[in-house]
Amino acid sequence: MATGWAKDGAVQDQIDSTVDDAVRRARNQLPKGPSLSECEDCGEPIPMARRLAIPGVRRCIACQGEHDAEAAFSGYNRRGSKDSQLR
């Protein structure tokens, strides 16, 4: 039940919006184009199984792990309580 000026289902709409944003962001980060045979960061060969599994792959597993750790996204927690957002 919504209160005040919010319409019924406003909380679910907000949750759906958060999920849609995360899916859109993840899809935009997928590699595009032809896969490389060597890692663009370190020059090590990229295994054929990885190139077939992920079309457009540009990094070896180790370099991709480092890249992903650096690019961690921390979005606003819309579902958390006010107390958790103030920390």
In the numeric block, the tokens 């859109």 are attached to 24
Whole-angstrom CA distances from 57 to 21, 61, 66, 68 are: 23, 10, 15, 13
Q: What pLDDT score does 39 carry?
A: 95
Of 69 and 73, the structure prediction assigns the larger pLDDT to 69
Of 60 and 86, the structure prediction assigns the larger pLDDT to 60
Helix spans in 1-87 (H): 10-28, 48-53, 61-70, 82-86
The pLDDT tens digits for 14-63 are 888 999 999 999 888 887 889 999 999 999 999 999 999 988 999 999 99
Q: What pLDDT score does 38 carry?
A: 96
User: pLDDT band for position 69 (50/70/90)?
Assistant: confident
Nearest to 38 by CA among 54, 55, 51: 51
User: pLDDT band for position 13 (50/70/90)?
Assistant: confident
